[in-house]
Amino acid sequence: MIPMARISLLFLALFNVTISIGGAAMAITVTSSAFVEGGMIPKKHTCDGEDISPDLKWTGAPSETKSFALICDDPDAPVGTWVHWVVFNLPAETGALPAGLPAEATLTNGARHGKNDFRRLGYGGPCPPGGTHRYFFKLYALDTMLDLASGCTKAQLEAAMKGHILSEGRLMGRYKR
C-alpha cells in the first residue's frame, strides 16, 4: 500500500502543480543542456575537467521579478554543505546563463559574483573526495536588486534575500569521481 503523502506528491509532480513552501512558490523551471534533473554532470564542468560552469536556462518567473540570484551547493560534502557558486543581481530580463561564465566580480550585465567555498569568485565545479554527490543549482526570483558587494558569501546573500523571494526553482545534478 502506498502512503497518502507519497500519492499526493506524485500527483503534484505528474500534473506540474505549483506549491508554496516557506512563502515562495516553486514555479521556476531550471534546465541545462549539459545534464538533466538528477543526471550526471559532465566532467568538463568539474575539477577533473575544464571546471567551467554549465549553461542554465529558466522559465516561469513572475512578472514582478526585479532580479535573480543563483546558489549552487553540495549538501553531501563531508564538512557540511559546500558552496560552489553564488551569483546575484542578474537582471530580470535574464533567462539564461551561458556555459563558462567568466569569474569576474561584476559581469557585463551588472550581475555580481559572490565567493564560493573554494574562496574564489565565480563557479567552482564538483570535486567530491569520494562517492556520488548532489549539486543543487537554486535560482531565486527577487522583488528587488540587492545592495551587496561582489564577494559576498552564500549566508550574506540568503540574509539579504529574506522577504524578497517571489519564486524559486532548482536543478539537481550528480557527480562521482
- Tell me how far the alpha carbon of residue 125 is from its chain's centroid: 13
Q: Give the pLDDT band (50/70/90) at residue 27.
A: confident
Given this model, what pLDDT does residue 26 score?
Answer: 55
Is 7 a residue whose pLDDT tops 70? no
**What residues contact 114, with CB distance under 8 A and at least 6 apart?**
86, 87, 88, 121, 148, 150, 151, 152, 153, 154, 156, 157
This prediction's pTM: 0.85
Q: Give the pLDDT band (50/70/90) at residue 157.
A: very high
**Structural domains of the chain ordered from first start:** 23-176 (3.90.280.10)
Is 13 a residue whose pLDDT tops 60? no
For the segment 8-16, the average pLDDT, to the nearest whole number, is 40
Q: What is the DSSP letter of 126?
A: -
- How does DSSP assign 21-66, residue by residue? ETTEE---EEE-SS--TT-BPPGGGSTTTT-PPPPEEEE---TT--
Mean pLDDT of the chain: 89
Given this model, what pLDDT does residue 53 score?
Answer: 98
pLDDT over 90 percentage in the chain: 85
